[in-house]
Chain A
Amino acid sequence: NAGVTQTPKFRVLKTGQSMTLLCAQDMNHEYMYWYRQDPGMGLRLIHYSVGEGTTAKGEVPDGYNVSRLKKQNFLLGLESAAPSQTSVYFCASSLTGGVNQPQHFGDGTRLSIL
């Protein structure tokens, strides 16, 4: 039981490049989330999903897209990377019932945009 797995762990991009971050969970969780963490800003929600085939915008969705084609996977895409998207990205999942269930986090992806 690996929990929540994020790939890759590190990545450096040039401005304008695109990439996809993958999040996989093996706990049969319904809810999945993508956050970004910047110094002094805490965890800010980018997008989330309440089940397979669903997505919703969080606090800071601009510049990102997501897909949840399979229940166990939640993909975060950057179509045209910008230096402002340099951050540490965390994926999380929770069982059901949304906020009343603990969120389990992955180890994070450190992304640098040059």
Chain B
Amino acid sequence: GENVEQHPSTLSVQEGDSAVIKCTYSDSASNYFPWYKQELGKRPQLIIDIRSNVGEKKDQRIAVTLNKTAKHFSLHITETQPEDSAVYFCAGGRNSGNTPLVFGKGTRLSVIA
């Protein structure tokens, strides 16, 4: 089955700097890769996702890149702000069948003002 690994587990950046979180996956048939943000004490919420027919997707200060050959994808946050502080989860999975998404273990991002 799918295995998703996420690095780093913790990340501290200065406000205004960029943050990058990386994930690798094992199942070459996986074709859907969402990212979730979980603020302290809150529910995980989808912030961006990418499908295997594109290599990059942007939404304001957030971007996700996908390298299917290397089986890795990354979340990029530019011009970080204190409200970006949260735990971020990547996930991966297939479009076919009923196999659920597999989540990474999460990255705790701290943006220091």
Contact = CB atoms under 8 A, between A and B. Distances in A.
Interface residues of B, number: 26
A100 B105 contact: no
Interface of A is mostly: mixed
B43 A99 contact: no
A99 B105 contact: no
B89 interface: yes
B98 interface: yes
Interface stretch (A67-75, A77-85, A104-112): A104-112
A56 interface: yes
A42 B90 CA distance: 10
A40 B87 CA distance: 11
B104 A42 contact: yes
Interface of A: 31, 33, 40-45, 48, 50, 56, 58, 90, 97-100, 102-108
